[in-house]
Structure 1
């Protein structure tokens, strides 16, 4: 299974990550990736960037050394009503928006409260991907969650770092169940490396194991085609108008 794009990466701006855009491009090219989305954490994350950093990403070229770039963010869900730490005026400027629960931004709630947080954030038209929903620190009603993603046309991430990240230990069974339900209901999924260092960009081995285990249809996996992912985003109003291209030097 060849996956050629990564929708979840963090640069040094996230505060607890260790690589620059240049670093990521270099490794992505060496690995044969075709597209990378830069999705630094929203400002509510301790050590995270100022909101102006998120908003100023239009200066990042659309293509760097043959690697297409998406300008994005991983927004923090701040309450069980699905409010996030990125204002709408900034969301409009971005190519791709992830939303997720982090226990440094919101205290884990009950199964019902956590599920509500995801369902409510799905009502935000600018949200594209729900990131690492398998985290056992935030138990959810998986059936309700997947059906919510289907209803609102959101992509569900199966996060590769979840399987090795001590802070989300015990996620595998949840991720397998989520993937099975996504397949059952025809919901788009995406493998996200959640890289916090450039060497991990495009690292999907554990997620691919899950996709193979549940026999996920290729047509539901967003990483298999730039055109498929961008088509989804364009259908939601993203324009990708300017095509600034720079060589890597």
Structure 2
């Protein structure tokens, strides 16, 4: 399989990344990456854009410089009841959302509270397509019910190369491996992401691929092939404008 899609990337708009959307798109065009998902942090993250930024993403073309652009957001889980800082109205112009726990928005709590927050969040917006950062060692989680619910809702589990490599959220690899084994057990669709905050890291999945190979993870569950990914999203009523 060619892993030519990356749905977790950031630009200078997130406040702590270093390339523009145009630079990210051009990098993809130059390196044969077919699908770029741009997924800025939602408004509660310090430095993140205003909610109007996401509402106005409708102005962006679907294909730029030969690269298919998917319009996303990395939403923050805010409370134990799963409240997000993006609602259906604010997300109306988006193709997808990643939901993640981030320390500035949700203080790590007990295993029970952290797990309830993730489980409850998965019901909060119809645009949720990816669960992010499950391996973050700062959040103790009961992975099995989360993986099972993601399977039930046909939501992809992210394996984030920035986390697996230890570039950020150091210590995530062993927990990501645990999640991957559960995804094998239940047959969850997964997505490899870079969490790139600079264009040179887009679609760099080497550490994640090695981790998955080490447990003989089945390639058919990985959704980064562009045709497979588009078919999955279209099957859920997304990307109706994409021919």
TM-score by length of 2: 0.95
1:227 deviates by 2.4
Residue of structure 2 equivalent to 1:127:
128
Contact 1:11 1:197 in 2 (8 A): yes
1:93 deviates by 2.0
Cα distance in 1 for residues equivalent to 2:156 and 2:119:
13
Matched, 1:60 2:60: yes
SS in 2 for 1:231: helix
Report the number of matched residues.
242
Give ranges in structure 2 of 5+ residues lacking alignment: none
TM-score by length of 1: 0.93
Cα distance in 2 for residues equivalent to 1:10 and 1:166:
15
RMSD across aligned positions (CA): 1.4
Matched, 1:104 2:99: no
Contact 1:121 1:127 in 2 (8 A): no
SS in 2 for 1:203: coil
Cα distance in 2 for residues equivalent to 1:37 and 1:73:
9
Highest RCO, 1 vs 2 (Cα 8 Å, sep ≥ 6): 1
Matched, 1:21 2:12: no
SS in 2 for 1:183: helix
TM-aligned CA distance change 1:54 to 1:138, over 3 Å: same
Contact 2:130 2:156 in 1 (8 A): yes
1:166 deviates by 5.5
Q: Which moved more, 1:229-238 or 1:35-44?
A: 229-238
Cα distance in 2 for residues equivalent to 1:62 and 1:55:
15
1:211 deviates by 1.7
Give the 5 Å matches for 1:43-58. Answer: 43-58=43-58
